[in-house]
Amino acid sequence: MKLQSGITVVKNGQLVDGTGRPAVPNGAVIITDGIISYAGPAADAPPAPPDARIIDAAGGTIMPGLIEAHIHLTYFNVSELQDLDIKFPVEYVTLQSAVNAKTALECGYTAARSGGCLHNIDVWMKKAIEEDMIPGPRLSTSGREICGAGGLMDWNPDYRRIGMEGIVFIVNGPEQARGAVRKLVKDGIEWVKTYPTGDAASPDINDHHTLCMTFDEMHAVVATAHNHGLKVTGHCRATEGIRNALKSGYDAIEHGTFMDDECLDLLLKRNVPMCPGLGFELFSVQRGKEFGLSQRVLDGHQETLEAGAESCRKVLKAGGTMGLGGDYGFAWTPHGTYAQELTFFVNYVGFSTLDTITCATLGGAKMMGRAHELGSLEKGKLGDVLVVAGDVLKDISLLENRDNLIAVMQGGLVKAGTLVKPASF
Ligand SMILES: [Zn+2]
Question: Which tens digits make up the pLDDT trace of 65-77?
Answer: 999 999 999 999 8
The answer to whether 199 and 241 have CB atoms below 8 angstroms apart is no
Give the Å distance between the CA of 327 and the centre of ligand 1. Answer: 5
Q: Is the pTM for the entire model greater than 0.85?
A: yes
Task: Enumerate domains of the chain plus CATH numbers.
Answer: 7-64+375-420 (2.30.40.10), 66-368 (3.20.20.140)
Give the Å distance between the CA of 180 and the centre of ligand 1. Answer: 19
**Nearest Cα to 284, choosing from 301, 268, 262?**
301
Give the Å distance between the CA of 145 and the centre of ligand 1. Answer: 10
pLDDT at 344 (0 to 100):
98
Give the Å distance between the CA of 150 and the centre of ligand 1. Answer: 19
pLDDT tens digits, one per residue of 248-287 = 999 999 999 999 999 999 999 999 999 999 999 999 999 9
pLDDT tens digits, one per residue of 30-87 = 999 999 999 999 999 999 999 999 999 999 999 999 999 999 999 998 888 778 887 8
- For 233, residues 6+ apart whose C-beta sits below 8 A from its C-beta are 115, 191, 192, 193, 194, 250, 251, 252, 253, 254
Which backbone phi and psi does 261 adopt, to 5 degrees? -65, -35
423 pLDDT more than 60: no
130 pLDDT more than 70: yes
Give the Å distance between the CA of 283 and the centre of ligand 1. Answer: 15
pLDDT at 80 (0 to 100):
81
pLDDT at 77 (0 to 100):
87
The answer to whether 356 and 396 have CB atoms below 8 angstroms apart is yes
pLDDT tens digits, one per residue of 328-360 = 999 999 999 999 999 999 999 999 999 999 999
pLDDT at 424 (0 to 100):
47
Give the Å distance between the CA of 111 and the centre of ligand 1. Answer: 17
Give the Å distance between the CA of 168 and the centre of ligand 1. Answer: 12
111 pLDDT more than 60: yes
| pLDDT, mean over the chain | 96
53-64: strand order across its sheet: 35-41, 24-32, 7-15, 53-64, 385-388, 405-410, 413-416
Q: Which amino acid is at 162?
A: I
pLDDT at 247 (0 to 100):
98
Give the Å distance between the CA of 232 and the centre of ligand 1. Answer: 14
Reported confidence tier of residue 163, pLDDT bands at 50, 70, 90 = confident
Q: Which residues surround ligand 1, an ion (CB under 5 A)?
A: 115, 327
Give the Å distance between the CA of 328 and the centre of ligand 1. Answer: 8
pLDDT at 357 (0 to 100):
98
* Nearest-10 crossing angle of helices 173-187, 215-227: 30
Give the Å distance between the CA of 393 and the centre of ligand 1. Answer: 28
CA 229-235-236 angle, 5° bins:
110
Compute the distance between CA of residue 61 and CA of residue 59 in angstroms, rounded to an integer.
7
Give the Å distance between the CA of 122 and the centre of ligand 1. Answer: 14
CA 18-264-143 angle, 5° bins:
65
Give the Å distance between the CA of 326 and the centre of ligand 1. Answer: 6
Compute the distance between CA of residue 45 and CA of residue 403 in angstroms, rounded to an integer.
29
Give the Å distance between the CA of 92 and the centre of ligand 1. Answer: 20
Give the Å distance between the CA of 85 and the centre of ligand 1. Answer: 13
Give the Å distance between the CA of 313 and the centre of ligand 1. Answer: 21
The answer to whether 13 and 59 have CB atoms below 8 angstroms apart is yes
Give the Å distance between the CA of 75 and the centre of ligand 1. Answer: 9
Give the Å distance between the CA of 324 and the centre of ligand 1. Answer: 12
Give the Å distance between the CA of 114 and the centre of ligand 1. Answer: 8
Which backbone phi and psi does 302 adopt, to 5 degrees? -65, -40
3-state secondary structure the chain: CCCCCCEEEEEEEEECCCCCCCCEEEEEEEEECCEEEEEEEHHHCCCCCCCCEEEEEEEEEEEECEEEEEECCCCCCECCHHHHCCCCCHHHHHHHHHHHHHHHHHCCEEEEEECCCCCCHHHHHHHHHHCCCCCCCEEECECCEEEECCCCCCCCCHHHCCCCCCCEEEECHHHHHHHHHHHHHHHCCCEEEECCECCCCCCCCCCCCCECCCHHHHHHHHHHHHHCCCEEEEEECCHHHHHHHHHCCCCCEEECCCCCHHHHHHHHHCCCCEECCCHHHHHHHHHHHHHCCCHHHHHHHHHHHHHHHHHHHHHHHCCCCECCCCCCCECCECCCCCCHHHHHHHHHHCCCHHHHHHHHHHHHHHHHCCCCCCCCCCCCCECCEEEECCCCCCCHHHHHCHHHEEEEEECCEEEECHHHCCCCC
pLDDT at 422 (0 to 100):
58
Give the Å distance between the CA of 82 and the centre of ligand 1. Answer: 14
Distance spanning both ends of the chain, measured CA to CA: 13
- Report the relative pairing of strands 253-255 and 231-236 from DSSP bridges: parallel
Give the Å distance between the CA of 414 and the centre of ligand 1. Answer: 29
Give the Å distance between the CA of 259 and the centre of ligand 1. Answer: 18
pLDDT at 156 (0 to 100):
86
Give the Å distance between the CA of 391 and the centre of ligand 1. Answer: 31
125 pLDDT more than 90: yes
Q: What is the percentage of the chain residues whose pLDDT exceeds 70?
A: 99
